[in-house]
């Protein structure tokens, strides 16, 4: 696996892939480790997770540099990502016991009935490159603490991140086989999912990758959680704080180089606010500093790979040819590295690429709509359903519209974000299942009913 620095186009590191026999050994080791790890007291697993958070903070600079070098994330954003990973460790170290507390149920006299939460086994996680630490820790923190063991198949352009994360857990005191990184290409994932020793799988990535993993898991009757793409609407009404909406929107679209499933992508603005919003939005977009991701002053770094830049530019070019208006940006920068400038398109023709496809780069589409009904209709005019943002000073209206928009999460007067305290996930082709919070830690457990009677019951009543 060759690692190419997207800021320079230079090969900076090479890693050996794990052979089929390596993977077989790792699956066997994971199975053995599960037998002892799942029996360790939950309090011990919580303490180890707290230690992982400490390791992350102690080595934050090193981990941030690895991210920046491998996929081009601006260094300040990489440092913030490491801190967010530490916070998810803090969260489950504090709340896992409460989340996994047995649930007691009404029962006949002389009986006690409860649901207990038991881990499933080795969980395969297929993770993307765009948030190479956070995506992993939001799966690993809850699932390992619940008693599962983890097998990470990370994106092939961030193997250094994969191994660094493995080292975090080892330095924190975890047994080596409780979390292992499989350095394998995507075409070998199916074999791991199908292996009897893999109990379940979770994937964050493209719709195509999600369908492939879900199909194989389904054939083998295994639980999956999928967090797939998004084309999140950012809806602005005339009574909104337009300046705040525009400033937040410029950042919501362009942080991480626009390479985020929950980035604001389709800006739906009612006519009475459209001109002011567009002017302020473009001003905000054009003020973002594009450049060397190791420079703390940089807001937008390179795209993670050359093929990803080419795909984004093709979507923009084809949409402009179809009739979209290019307001700013729209051409790869003439410099070393895979740089694409923050771009704004208006007058979007129905059915053009930026209207119907997920655009995974710093490209915003701005739509003018007549009123609230048209805004909701446009917000829902997509097969995706990950997140949405609504801007209005009328709180009652914001909560009402949150119910009208088809998405896994809706934020009013804030950008969409994932947070350890609340469930995260989508609907439609954006996936299924939930990560984070109590919902997340219970995705990969056996919710076992335990019914205990003091005396034999009445067996004549059968349902």
pLDDT in tens, 149-158: 999 999 999 9
In angstroms, rounded to a whole number, what is the distance separating the alpha carbons of residues 335 and 170? Answer: 40
In eight-state DSSP terms, residue 38 is T
CB hemisphere CA count around 454 (13 angstroms): 5
CB hemisphere CA count around 284 (13 angstroms): 22
In angstroms, rounded to a whole number, what is the distance separating the alpha carbons of residues 43 and 41? Answer: 5
Token duo for residue 391: 């801007």
- H or E element: which one contains 117? strand 111-119
Tell me which long-range contacts 60-63 makes (C-beta under 8 A, separation of at least 24).
60/86, 62/164, 63/133, 63/161, 63/164, 63/168
227 in active site:
yes
Residues 91-120 pLDDT 10s: 999 999 999 999 999 999 999 999 999 999
In angstroms, rounded to a whole number, what is the distance separating the alpha carbons of residues 69 and 304? Answer: 10
Ranges of H-type helices in 59-107 = 60-71, 75-99
435 in active site:
no
pLDDT of residue 453: 95
pLDDT of residue 461: 52
What backbone phi and psi angles, to 5 degrees, belong to 224? Answer: -135, 155
pLDDT of residue 455: 84
Cβ atoms of 202 and 123 within 8 Å: the answer is: yes
- Looking up tokens 């076992």 gives 448
The pairing of strands 10-14 and 122-126 is unpaired
Instruction: Go through the domains of the chain in sequence order and give each one's CATH number.
Output: 2-228+426-450 (3.40.605.10), 232-412 (3.40.309.10)
C-alpha R_g of the chain: 23
In angstroms, rounded to a whole number, what is the distance separating the alpha carbons of residues 312 and 354? Answer: 9
pLDDT of residue 460: 52
- Looking up tokens 């290409």 gives 185
Residues 341-400 pLDDT 10s: 999 999 999 999 999 999 999 999 999 999 999 999 999 999 999 999 999 999 999 999
pLDDT of residue 456: 82
Extract the residue ranges of the chain whose pLDDT is less than 70: 457-463
Given the residues 227, 357, 358, 435, the one annotated as active site: 227
Given the residues 161, 261, 352, 409, the one annotated as active site: 261
pLDDT of residue 399: 97
Token duo for residue 176: 């080596």
- Looking up tokens 């913030």 gives 80
Angle of CA points 26, 28, 33, to nearest 5°:
90
Q: How far, in Å, are 148, 206, 233, 442 from residue 119 at the CA level?
A: 5, 27, 37, 9
In angstroms, rounded to a whole number, what is the distance separating the alpha carbons of residues 243 and 409? Answer: 23
Give every CB contact of residue 233 below 8 A, 6+ residues apart in sequence: 264, 265, 266, 267, 268, 378, 379, 382, 388, 389, 405
Residue 202: name the closest of 447, 27, 441 by CA: 441
Token duo for residue 194: 């199908």
Cβ-in-10-Å burial (0-12, 13-18, 19+) of 82 comes to: buried
In eight-state DSSP terms, residue 10 is E
- Global model pTM greater than 0.85: yes
Residue 389: name the closest of 380, 402, 403 by CA: 402
pLDDT of residue 55: 99
The pairing of strands 264-270 and 409-412 is unpaired
């Amino acid at each position: 696996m060759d690692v190419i620095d997207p800021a320079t186009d230079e090969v900076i590191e090479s890693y050996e892939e794990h052979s089929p026999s390596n993977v077989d050994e790792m699956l066997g080791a994971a199975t053995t480790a599960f037998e002892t790890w799942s029996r360790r007291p939950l309090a011990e697993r919580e303490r180890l997770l707290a230690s992982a958070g400490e390791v992350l903070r102690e080595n934050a600079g090193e981990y941030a540099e690895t991210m920046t070098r491998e996929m081009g994330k601006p260094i300040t954003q990489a440092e913030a990502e490491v801190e967010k990973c530490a916070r998810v460790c803090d969260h489950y170290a504090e709340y896992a016991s409460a989340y996994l507390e047995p649930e007691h149920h009404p029962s006949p006299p002389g009986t006690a009935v409860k649901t207990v939460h038991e881990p499933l086994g080795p969980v395969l996680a297929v993770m993307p490159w765009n948030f190479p630490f956070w995506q992993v820790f939001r799966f690993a923190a809850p699932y390992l603490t619940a008693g599962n063991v983890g097998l990470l198949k990370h994106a092939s352009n961030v193997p250094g991140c994969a191994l660094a994360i493995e080292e975090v857990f080892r330095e924190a005191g975890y047994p080596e086989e409780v979390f292992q990184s499989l350095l394998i290409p995507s075409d070998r994932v199916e074999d791991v999912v199908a292996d009897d020793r893999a109990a379940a799988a979770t994937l964050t990535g493209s719709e195509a990758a999600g369908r492939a993993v879900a199909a194989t898991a389904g054939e083998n009757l295994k639980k999956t959680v999928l967090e797939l793409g998004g084309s999140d609407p950012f809806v602005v009404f005339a009574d909104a704080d337009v300046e705040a909406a525009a400033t937040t929107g410029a950042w919501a679209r362009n942080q991480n180089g626009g390479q985020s499933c929950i980035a604001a992508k389709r800006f739906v603005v009612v006519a009475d606010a459209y001109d002011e919003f567009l002017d302020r939005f473009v001003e905000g977009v054009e003020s973002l500093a594009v450049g060397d991701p190791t420079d703390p002053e940089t807001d937008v770094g390179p795209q993670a790979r050359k093929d990803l830049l080419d795909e984004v530019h093709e979507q923009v070019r084809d949409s402009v040819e179809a009739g979209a208006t290019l307001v700013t940006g729209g051409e790869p920068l003439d410099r070393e590295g895979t740089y694409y400038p923050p771009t704004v398109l208006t007058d979007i023709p129905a059915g053009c690429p930026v209207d119907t496809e997920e655009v995974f780069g710093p490209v915003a589409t701005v739509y003018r709509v007549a009123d609230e009904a048209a805004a909701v209709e446009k917000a829902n005019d997509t097969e995706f359903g990950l997140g949405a943002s609504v801007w209005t000073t009328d709180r009652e209206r914001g909560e009402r519209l949150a119910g009208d928009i088809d998405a896994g999460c809706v934020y009013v007067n804030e950008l969409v974000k994932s947070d350890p305290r609340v469930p995260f996930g989508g609907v439609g082709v954006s996936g299924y299942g939930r990560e984070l919070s109590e919902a997340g830690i219970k995705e990969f457990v056996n919710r076992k009913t335990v019914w205990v009677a003091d005396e034999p019951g009445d067996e004549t009543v059968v349902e």
